Structure 1
């Protein structure tokens, strides 16, 4: 009888613990306000699809400490005013624990200026811009900085004897910092940027820039632009006989270029990549990603580098929630990210510190072959 009584008490205690864990478990809402339509829709949707891919896998396995993840998305069409308005509405209606997957230089600038992140004490993990940003509280990126990309591009060009460069870039508040970084990188590589041509931010109005480089041909042109602007530039420049080598930063996804450009226009274009390739299994992270893609029918968009980046952002968010334990909060999310000094995702490391919130230094170049395929 004594043994039976002890067993009954043990079962009761176990049920109580399970019940307490169930009460503590939460549905973690992750909010994305990004371009689900418009010029950058393919990248915005791909980023969200990558996040959802990982969240689904985590939820299927029972969550993290019982916590499950829900991705809520709103479309800003690439318009900065809609980014701010959509974020404000989402914070009020959906109560996300963290934001992720934002796009656009002015979009991010206006969001920070609105004070919403600071007021709500909410972190933004994973975003894409075409500017050299200063460190900003509550903004965490899972990729290398644009400065890292520009350094990689200019160093590569110097090794193959190309020293007269052109710069095609997005105009806006962040342009002076970008121009200074590009000049500094070129100087280190013993090269010079002979001509610079801007296009209006949030558009693909590239004709004046194309005309400038046709009249003043450099050996190579570095493109720091959105994917839509890069595609428009390449199309017009190559169509008019422009012969300079073209090097793009990671915002110019090959997937977006291939939808618009002919193979002969894309041939030889080099693109800086800030994540491992989603097309080959060269690391544990890439294998995990590809295994989940294989098991997931009817993906919203085709596999891409932007999808891989979204997948990485989701892994960082889930890890930050795991480290918080039973009661994750917005304030603890930021503190946990600041203490995430080195998190190995499987051959790709992400690390943050209070004054260093660009989490990676990984940059490699991919070159588009004559068949329109990527080769490293």
Structure 2
């Protein structure tokens, strides 16, 4: 996998300066979501490298300029400003995180730049429709609602909800509440947790003390993994469900011996479901690079398919405005068994949602 281009690594500037089409990314290359970010970006590079090897888009190669924001929203906004105003990228791509994406919105408006496939399912990026945001995944609210609905069908009603104290957490909480409302009962306990440093010594007794049968955990990466470990250390067998932002093999590894049985919602088909052309194609390219496809990689791969098509439709020497206009022409664009559609009134793109469970082999099972 190519090295990420971080803000501090100015010595690498010539590597991207010669690219014909520059695409910018700010994400937590280091920090609590690093594993997922690296897998998602690796998945995108599978398709971008494939396209570049064939001569690029309309004869122009694509270069992804990635900057590390350490999963800090203020740094994400600062990085985006550099990418847009100094690096002159044509579009932003695979920005990771809800508060991070929200912090960048004013820059999109000011410079007319598209943000393609933000790696978040935040409702605020879907409704009301933002002219410059093009989502390629379902919302977190739909995922959380589906999680509660699934637990209810299993006869589980003693459900705790843990959510991060940021816009992502409150968004997921809202979806979970919709699920509870439809099912006709209330959560056992709702716990707000510090996004970066959750207080497990306080949280876990609140869950175990009420004898929770399940926990819907709306947080990111290690914040969830460490929480699951703490829950198991307290001898709780509660079923844990978390969202697709944790659908990476890195997340599974971080869970260690506590991985088996954790449910993770998914917004793309199973990464081994070759009935989908998207998956079969991605598996082939991953095999060429001797890597194993993961759900997070598949998200990045699908995002890259949409990015490339938008650039192709924008024509030679695509401008920011041309890319925005071109993306809105996508109507039932088949990326391999899934159709992506945008219009002036809808920038959701895809609305696929499913559930998976981590097996004893550390793989996601459907």
Q: Give TM-score, length-normalised by structure 1.
A: 0.85
CA distance in 2, matches of 1:245, 1:68: 46
Specify which of 289, 297, 309 is matched with residue 296 of structure 1. 289
CA distance in 1, matches of 2:136, 2:180: 25
How many pairs were matched up? 345
Question: 1:56 aligned to 2:49?
Answer: yes
The equivalent of 2:264 in structure 1 is 271
* 1:300-356 superposed Cα distances (whole Å, 9 cap, x missing partner): xx6422211111111101111112223422112122222323211111222222232
Tell me if structure 1 keeps the 8 A contact 2:169–2:218: no
Tell me if structure 1 keeps the 8 A contact 2:144–2:173: no
Tell me if structure 2 keeps the 8 A contact 1:28–1:70: yes
SS in 2 for 1:102: coil
Specify which of 225, 249, 258 is matched with residue 243 of structure 2. 249
Question: 1:126 aligned to 2:120?
Answer: no
CA distance in 1, matches of 2:342, 2:202: 40
Question: 1:227 aligned to 2:221?
Answer: yes
The equivalent of 2:75 in structure 1 is 82
**Equivalences for residues 157-306 of structure 1 within 5 A:** 157-173=151-167, 175-263=169-257, 265-297=258-290, 303-306=293-296
CA distance in 2, matches of 1:82, 1:223: 26
Tell me if structure 1 keeps the 8 A contact 2:25–2:95: yes
**Cα distance, 1:177 vs structure 2:** 4.7
**Cα distance, 1:270 vs structure 2:** 1.0
Tell me if structure 2 keeps the 8 A contact 1:224–1:251: no
SS in 2 for 1:64: coil
Tell me if structure 2 keeps the 8 A contact 1:164–1:194: yes
**Cα distance, 1:118 vs structure 2:** 0.8
The equivalent of 2:326 in structure 1 is 336
* 1:20-48 superposed Cα distances (whole Å, 9 cap, x missing partner): xxxxxx82211111111111111112222
Structure 1 residue ranges without an equivalent (≥5) = 1-25
Tell me if structure 2 keeps the 8 A contact 1:231–1:260: yes
Specify which of 143, 149, 153 is matched with residue 143 of structure 2. 149
Q: Give TM-score, length-normalised by structure 2.
A: 0.88
Tell me if structure 1 keeps the 8 A contact 2:331–2:340: yes
- CA gap 1:31/1:189 in 2 versus in 1, 3 angstroms: same
**Cα distance, 1:161 vs structure 2:** 1.3
CA distance in 2, matches of 1:106, 1:206: 23
- CA gap 1:42/1:156 in 2 versus in 1, 3 angstroms: same
- CA gap 1:97/1:203 in 2 versus in 1, 3 angstroms: farther
* 1:204-259 superposed Cα distances (whole Å, 9 cap, x missing partner): 55443223112222221111111221101101011111121111111123512332
- CA gap 1:204/1:128 in 2 versus in 1, 3 angstroms: farther
CA distance in 1, matches of 2:201, 2:111: 42
- CA gap 1:138/1:204 in 2 versus in 1, 3 angstroms: farther
CA distance in 2, matches of 1:236, 1:285: 37
- CA gap 1:180/1:284 in 2 versus in 1, 3 angstroms: closer
CA distance in 2, matches of 1:58, 1:170: 38
Structure 2 residue ranges without an equivalent (≥5) = 1-18
The equivalent of 1:38 in structure 2 is 31
Tell me if structure 2 keeps the 8 A contact 1:267–1:372: yes
The equivalent of 2:22 in structure 1 is 29
Specify which of 288, 299, 305 is matched with residue 315 of structure 1. 305
SS in 1 for 2:144: helix
Tell me if structure 1 keeps the 8 A contact 2:266–2:355: yes
Tell me if structure 2 keeps the 8 A contact 1:203–1:229: yes
**Cα distance, 1:131 vs structure 2:** 4.4
Tell me if structure 1 keeps the 8 A contact 2:23–2:62: yes
- Select the structure of larger CA radius of gyration: 1
